Structure 1
Amino acid sequence: MKKVLLMFFSLGVFSTVFSQSQRTMLFEEFTGEDCGPCAAANPGVNALLSDNDGTVIGLKYQSIVSSSSRNVLYTQTKAESNARGSYYSNTSLPYGILDGNVKKSHAANFVQTDFDNRFSAPSSFNLSVNHDFSVNADSVYITVNIEASQAFSAGGASSLKLRVAMVEREITLTPPAVNGESEFVDVMRKMYPGPSGTTLAQNWTNGQSQTVTFGVLIPSYIFDKNEIAIVAFIQDDITKEVQQAAQSAKKSVRLDAMADDYESSFLVCDPTGFEPIVKIKNNGSDALTYCDLDIYVDGTLASTKSWSGNLASNAEATVTLPAISKTLGVHIIKVVAKNPNLENDQNNFNDTITSAFAFPDDAVAIPLSEDFENNIPSSFIVEPNKSGSSWKIANYSANGVGSKSILMRFYAIPESDDNYIYLPTLDLSSASFVRMTFDKAYARYNSSYNDGLEIQGSKDCGKTWISLWKKEGTALATAPNTTSEFKPSNANQWKSDTASLDYFAGDTKVFIRLKGISEYGNNLYVDNLNVESTNTTNGGPQHPTGIAQMLSSNNIHLFPNPANSTITISFGETIESAIVKIFDARGVEMQNTLAENNSELKINTANFSAGLYFVQVVSKNNIAKTSFVVQH
């Protein structure tokens, strides 16, 4: 199909009472996917734009630092972005421009006062813009209405221009851009009829009006049609000043079945397999009464589920998919929604969700020892993450022994990503006390970046996890800060550490995982993982074997649970003497209280952080253990 570009003009002149118009401002920014300073500046810029939504319109041109970098958005729109950069003679990133000539500066230098001052200056024009989708949503029809609210003369005979841009209000890149950004807002996607705009009359009288319309094909590279908006602005090419700006509201296409969320757990312990659960959403304007769901496992179509019902616009439904049989290891599942109401889906961006599940192997007895010299064993499970850069083998080893370890490249992983590696399932039934020892090497990028490592455990196949050990920032660091990629160069940059697994001693099926906590900082290396039984406690919460029976015999109750400022521990009867210990989820003892001749004990939790806590009641005859949650 040939590209459709239709433009119509209508000009009307009529008399109105002299007035001025409230200004809507335009903030243009040159930014880039491979621009590190852009990633640092944009969160603040975006927050400022959000605070001024309705009075300031954002329009972001994706530019580049290096042509050799991966620049998805720039490649799609480089003609318009380059033209606008030349228009302003701009060669730096990130660079902001308020209303064409009011202020030009590094994007992070704009503050609320800049907008307040400009907002107080009235405009000579009223401007509005609207867009509608075609029936099959392959095109949009744009209508721009201009009206002079007072007499106006431009700087030259053909210098006054109407510029119209299609934007996507939000774009999420997966994997993230080279600079780590994954969330992009107000991204310019196309300009009509081009970056030079449409020439308007030089002189306007009060009440003079003009309507400009376009019918255009939606570019094939648009991610989400429901995020489309149209930005229109009037600009004098001699002074570069933007006289007025407007933006259309987002609209939904008619038919859009969205695969919204994968709701099943990553670990699957049922030996017969499982039935995945997904959530679908009607992202279109018409009611959704039917759609098909194609289920792919490891790239192969496994089955198709036909759903029927009645979902209003923006409503959701939970769907149970056909069963998947057990096959050991990690598997990728992809679910594709299609054929809404037995028609073509008009917004393919959100049709697909991809996730992962894993069938762990049978539990192994301890001791367990792994130095990663033969890569990551198949009994270890690396959970795929959104960035595609989770735990992997590195050619560095602790203490000069061997040549390999596992690595977490935090600088390549956004802060929102989950980064897990699971140890083999452990059988701790013969152990009274258990510890895990390991070596680590980590350097921060600088004092602002505090990556972390956490060790978590579960005995219900990952439905709930307990934090057993956690360190971040300086507590985790074993080497000085460095803005270069950290590579441990000597044995002094490795440190040994120990995590107590006593809580799970005696259990037959225990799941332990390492969680990398990214703040987009530097490299972390882990080596020489060992899980072993010990003769004495390793600290932290102890194994709760027989808790139910001990609580029953002692009638111990906690209330309220969850707690806010206070929790009461009721012993059910007056006890002669007992020590009550409170541990946080890391195993750190928070409180140690002697209870004598009491039937209950009140604990002040006002200064406790929200989370899970463990209680040990140690009396002459036994030890009772339980837990509670603090919520503020």
Structure 2
Amino acid sequence: MRNALASGTSGRSNLSTLPNLGATDVNGTLPCPPIAEFMSTTNYTVCSGGSLNFKDLSYNGTISSYAWSADNGAILANPTNSTTAITFPTQGVSSVTLTVTNGQGSSTKIKTVTVLNGTAVINGNYTESFENAGVPANWSVVNVGGGVTWDQTTVAAKDGSGSFFLDGTQSTASQQDILVMPIMDVVNNPSNLLTFSYAYARQTATHADKLVLQGSLDCGGSWIDVVSLNASTMASGSGGTTSSPFIPVPANWKDVDVTSYPYWFNFANSQSATFRFVFTEDATTGNGNRLFIDAVNFQNPNGLNELTKNYRLNLFPNPSTGETNLKFNLNDAANVTVNVVDMLGKNVLPATTINYNAGEQTIAINKNASLSKGIYFVNISINGAKMSKKLVIN
């Protein structure tokens, strides 16, 4: 066959010459219609009111025009550029569409974006000490493996009488259990500290459990590690190493200031920051020991301790099963306002404002025992100086 093509008979040898290939456009490239493709520069999950950036990845031909669109109320910054930013104000699913065109035709690509509720639940001072059975309001548990997972307990506590714990004695190798906090507004509370306490015991000296506090800026679309604690770090100064089921005593609790870790700065400007505790059981054997978490606080400490000392502010009994007393001392006459709010900042008792003379004062709180079991804040303003005391009702 090759010899026949190379033969000069009937001009066969001309078929493969460069002039002939060019004349018949065998060597040429015809213009083609483009094939649309694009990507988000981060991910496809976003908080309501948040934005994502998209860029064109179309191929197969030179593109002469771009047309971006999105539904569900989405707002596009540059709908005719090769890149665009899109803001998603409405919860739900939004379809993002890119159509690319040239002289030979056009092509369209559609991708979906999940828009989650980005409204902050925590907008100011907040605490959770797990006093009530079950998962707290606006928290969630992700039980990846379907086995034993996070649960409330009253066998030990750093604050109040309850805590959340994982019974690692029942966990399988590499089991992962997740505890997700409510969305919080960080940017409008720049002085607040995010802290929590934990107690942990290692089953053996080789158990490699790990606790990580992760943060998300896109309602859980992506996560970054903020605090990472290995088994050795957690056990040291806490429960150590023991094969007996661990029940912490007060000296076993360790405090963590999340805001002191370098990666906290990623969340300083966020109105919709989400955090979660991720515990991973030892990958080799599983069946570890126990981890307890308590006293999760997002609080502004500035000046509160000093003011509390100056006014000798005290709340007793606390915890209480009913009425409790707010006691304070005034050096001079003052206008005093007191209100009681729940963990979401909602007033649960009528606010009172009274002019007091100098001296020791006592105000009865929850006189009718109308507050249900839970955590509350008793807020007091003395001539504009604001303080707060946490109240536990059992």
Give the TM bin, normalised by the shorter chain: 0.3 to 0.5
Between 1 and 2, higher relative CO (CA 8 Å, sep ≥ 6) is seen in 2
The TM-score, its normalising length taken from structure 2, stands at: 0.43
The TM-score, its normalising length taken from structure 1, stands at: 0.27
